[in-house]
Amino acid sequence: MKKLFLLTIVAFVTAFLLGYSFKKNTPKPLTPECYISCYNAETREMIALDALKKGFSSLHTAPINFVLENPKGKNIKYTAADGTTCNAYFIKSKKKSKNWLFVIQEWWGLNDYIKREADKYSDDLKDVNVIALDMYDGKIATSPDSAMKYMSTSKKERLETIVNATINYAGKKANIYTVGWCFGGGWSLQSTILAGKQAKGCVMYYGRPENNIEKLKTINCDVIALFGNQDKAINKEIVNKFEEDMKTADKKMFLYRYEAGHGFANPSNPSYNKEFTSDAHTKAITFLKERM
């Protein structure tokens, strides 16, 4: 009788525990937004992950079809340290110059819009070698979906390899300046960090800032940062934190904020503002000329 009673008790406890375990909620997979906000990733990884943010794609419309006529530069190839091939659009200075401007694409890739920007910077700065890096290895997005795919799957190791190969292509005596927008704005700052003592000036348009103060302390030049107060991707809180971090790192930054949204300097973007674009470009050119 005792054995039957004990078996009954054991069966009851077992059933209770099993029932409890089945009632427990199964953890849900992380959403892209939570993955980005909670994942302790390096900034170079976070730049790519920004493409997965809810609503990020809607901040961009497909680029208006544009073909650059009479380009000043030419497409070139060069070899990285790991033996792989890198691509770029290159405008060589008419006069021999140690000054190099790295132009870094938006999330669309190295399209004719970016090549046109490279041509404009070459015209405005005169005696400087301008090189627009191909961060997607030949892939160019023509829709937000394809841009999201290319940006979110870009590996920081490959992007670092491309930047380092370009620094090597410029040479050890090169003075390196950088400019970029969106994805390229973040990588403009990262390229400046990678360039070390060769870095002489950084221009970043609405790109994700570096959040590691120790890395910011390694920056060897001044930075000009151009952001939109209405930007839902790189919002005011992120920019405010960047400003504080740069002060903590004892680095000089010229911060300009426009009453505009993300991508205000791109003619294809819903937030495009001609007046702000002109003003920002003038500030960028003045900044670079003063340091060349």
Length of the chain: 292
According to the model, what pLDDT value does residue 73 have? 97
Distance CA 13, CA 23 (A): 15
Contact 48, 151 (CB under 8 A): yes
Distance CA 177, CA 223 (A): 10
According to the model, what pLDDT value does residue 28 have? 46
According to the model, what pLDDT value does residue 170 have? 98
- Determine what percent of the chain falls in helix, strand and coil, rounding each to the nearest 5: 45, 15, 40
With vertex at residue 111, the alpha carbon angle to CA 52 and CA 65, rounded to the nearest 5 degrees, is 95
Instruction: Reduce the DSSP state of residue 225 to 3 states and report it.
Output: strand
Please give the chain's pLDDT, 292 residues, in tens.
Answer: 444 444 444 444 444 444 444 344 434 444 444 444 444 469 999 999 999 998 999 999 998 889 999 999 999 999 999 999 999 999 999 999 999 999 999 999 999 999 999 999 999 999 999 999 999 999 999 999 999 999 999 999 999 999 999 999 999 999 999 999 999 999 999 999 999 999 999 999 999 999 999 999 999 999 999 999 999 999 999 999 999 999 999 999 999 999 999 999 999 899 999 999 999 999 999 999 999 9
The angle, 0 to 180 degrees and rounded to 10, between the axes of the packed helices 274-289 and 112-125 is 50
Distance CA 205, CA 220 (A): 19
According to the model, what pLDDT value does residue 286 have? 98
Write the DSSP assignment of 128-196 as a string of letters. Answer: -EEEEE-TTTT---SSHHHHHHHHHT--HHHHHHHHHHHHHHH-TT-EEEEEEETHHHHHHHHHHHHHG
Joined tokens for residue 62: 């497909």
Domain that holds residue 243: 2-289
8-state DSSP, 108: T
- Of 147, 157, 214, nearest to 181 (Cα)? 147
Question: In the chain, how many domains are there?
Answer: 1
What is the amino acid identity at position 233? A
Radius of gyration over alpha carbons of the chain, in Å? Answer: 24
According to the model, what pLDDT value does residue 176 have? 98
Q: Residue 42 half-sphere exposure, CB side, CA atoms within 13 Å?
A: 10
For the stretch 52-59, contacts whose Cβ atoms lie closer than 8 Å and that sit 24 or more positions apart, written own/partner, are 52/148, 52/152, 53/233, 55/232, 56/148, 56/233, 57/144, 57/145, 57/147, 57/148, 58/144, 59/232, 59/233, 59/261, 59/262, 59/263, 59/269, 59/270, 59/271
Which CATH number characterizes residue 151's domain?
A: 3.40.50.1820
Count Cβ atoms below 10 Å from residue 177 Cβ, excluding itself. 29
According to the model, what pLDDT value does residue 102 have? 98
According to the model, what pLDDT value does residue 159 have? 98
